[in-house]
Structure 1
């Protein structure tokens, strides 16, 4: 062999070997990056999960959801700009407590009493899906509750439920809120809700036939459109504030310690049309929710279910449930899904443990 070619050949071999090793090393680094990609947990997006227990869409209570996710019901998503906490609930499955409906929802670990309250919950969210099936004549069909105040005592009624509702084929849906009376006496079967519209319609606007829908609200909120709510209870008065870009800000107040519905003559016309024909014609105790422990809830409480409207035309939707098959319900839109971007909680010094409520309902 000609010696003058030995050095260049050796150099070429060494250089080639370096390139191969370098290429392999770079490939290993890329694989390692994918394998160690960090999960972003809900408790990193909204750092207040020590104050809540999480109820999942399978009826289970997983406790404080610190560094927790469940890909069927509770996880995070990034929309290209922000991280969001996702709550998801099918039309059918296992429920929590005595409810007929599926929820993936946070429940506050403390409760407050309205007379001594100085408590506040805020949230910014967008609803991504409501059930695609259901009887349009049923008031709760195609709806989801995204925030609540719930009583931990006696009847365990709800002085506040914040709804989003959108009919199939409509671009815009409605946001409204409910007050449920704290029924006088021991029989709670006569309880009823009164609904107030925020943007769009209230609860009472329904279809004329199973698949015939009312007119789309002109000032409604679309799926994927952000809105915010603030719930504040101070010295017995609940104040609600709703805001969304491009919409008028709305504020409401409600006295939680003195009832305006203590006689049959006080029942509002809306309630007389919706609830009284079903035998839900009770009156409220004079002191309303005085003396009862109240607590906040936040998340995705699906109001659409598969129960027959013949049972209750306000709450039983007759929707598709695929006999509780989760994968099939998610595949054809028979679920509710809500994304939260921010939220905050103020807890008054007078608040106490809410563990007794969980002991009764878990």
Structure 2
């Protein structure tokens, strides 16, 4: 009788231990599953990544960025109230295509033709950092491009680049947009940009010395300040709208299928002062971007690099790069970082595959 009771108690204890262990195991599994579910990806914040391929700050093309993150370049962050998508890239590293500049940036998988387009891109963002070093006389120093229209054909020029730029020591930076001519002829070396200020300065405002800066803009945007841009291209006309709380809203239009700059006499004084001294004095083909497939870009295209200003005084910054060491650049502020709160894209039915652009440029990245 006692033996039977002993055996029963032993069986009960073994069963109890098993149930406890099983319960712990199930709890751990549930906890791990819950933790996995709580990971917030960029595609949870802006669920439109089927429309893009993502280029990282190491020059690689990771394709569609659904349920993807890279802690050096592309991830999400919270400001305590809102989740944001972080695009981050150093002053130097591997670059995509023929560019001298690193980027963590989305490139649209389809292209559309300006003359028949009805396409739209909107974004709400804040710039968190631009490079702390560079040559103040160089137009692109301390700047980042946060949105673009890019041509996939011909010279692959850019009818739109939206910039944010802030000089060291300034609290406020500038937002401006550039139109790059679609150079006439086969030689694209004469291409140039014409810049228009939104808040603060345009591209042409530079320092008088390497470390001498202009006066801080009175109506600028500070790091961490939220603003929105909207780009619409319809029937050959590019329409832009910029809004930010506490700032005057600004709207612009530009015909991108009929050139304003088809003769030397048409070239603006701003361009003559900025680009003529370095031999960039070309004219645009009369039909501008007509017949070329164009596409949107969005993200963090760092305009500050380590190349000597002697190479090009507008685009080569001579900034600190630590030999391309990404972490060292991040440690002392030599990088660009942009947070996107919302973004959306509308693609017309006439848009077609942009795969040819990626096929060509994915194999041209610079190490």
Q: TM-score, normalised by structure 1?
A: 0.92
> Considering only aligned residues, what root-mean-square deviation do their CA atoms show, in Å?
2.1
Superposed, which structure 2 residues align to 1:134-145 within 5 Å?
134-145=134-145
Any runs of at least 4 consecutive aligned residues in structure 1 with deviations exceeding 4 A, and if so which? 28-31, 33-37
Cα distance in 2 between the residues matched to 1:35 and 1:312: 50
- The size of the alignment, in residue pairs, is 344
Q: State the partner residue of 1:261.
A: 261
CA separation of 1:318/1:154 partners in 2, compared to 1, >3 Å: closer, same or farther? same
Q: State the partner residue of 1:338.
A: 338
Cα distance in 1 between the residues matched to 2:204 and 2:133: 18
Q: State the partner residue of 2:59.
A: 59
- Using the TM superposition, name which of 205-214 and 290-299 deviates more: 205-214
Superposed, which structure 2 residues align to 1:18-97 within 5 Å?
32=31, 36=36, 38-97=38-97
Superposed, which structure 2 residues align to 1:59-208 within 5 Å?
59-208=59-208
Superposed, which structure 2 residues align to 1:250-289 within 5 Å?
250-289=250-289
Q: Following TM superposition, by how much is the alpha carbon of 1:137 offset from its aligned partner in structure 2, in angstroms?
A: 0.5
For residues 31-84 of structure 1, the C-alpha deviation after alignment (integer angstroms, 9 at most, x for no partner) is 946855621000110010000000000000000001000000000001111110
Where structure 2 has 5 or more consecutive residues not aligned to the other structure, the ranges are 1-19, 363-367
Cα distance in 2 between the residues matched to 1:189 and 1:139: 18
Q: Following TM superposition, by how much is the alpha carbon of 1:223 offset from its aligned partner in structure 2, in angstroms?
A: 0.2
Q: State the partner residue of 2:217.
A: 217
| Aligned-partner SS, 2:249 | strand
Q: State the partner residue of 1:244.
A: 244
Cα distance in 1 between the residues matched to 2:78 and 2:29: 22
| Aligned-partner SS, 1:247 | coil
Q: Following TM superposition, by how much is the alpha carbon of 1:183 offset from its aligned partner in structure 2, in angstroms?
A: 0.3
| Aligned-partner SS, 2:61 | coil
Where structure 1 has 5 or more consecutive residues not aligned to the other structure, the ranges are 1-20
Cα distance in 2 between the residues matched to 1:157 and 1:29: 54
For residues 319-343 of structure 1, the C-alpha deviation after alignment (integer angstroms, 9 at most, x for no partner) is 0000000110000000000000000
Q: State the partner residue of 1:6.
A: none
Cα distance in 1 between the residues matched to 2:304 and 2:264: 30
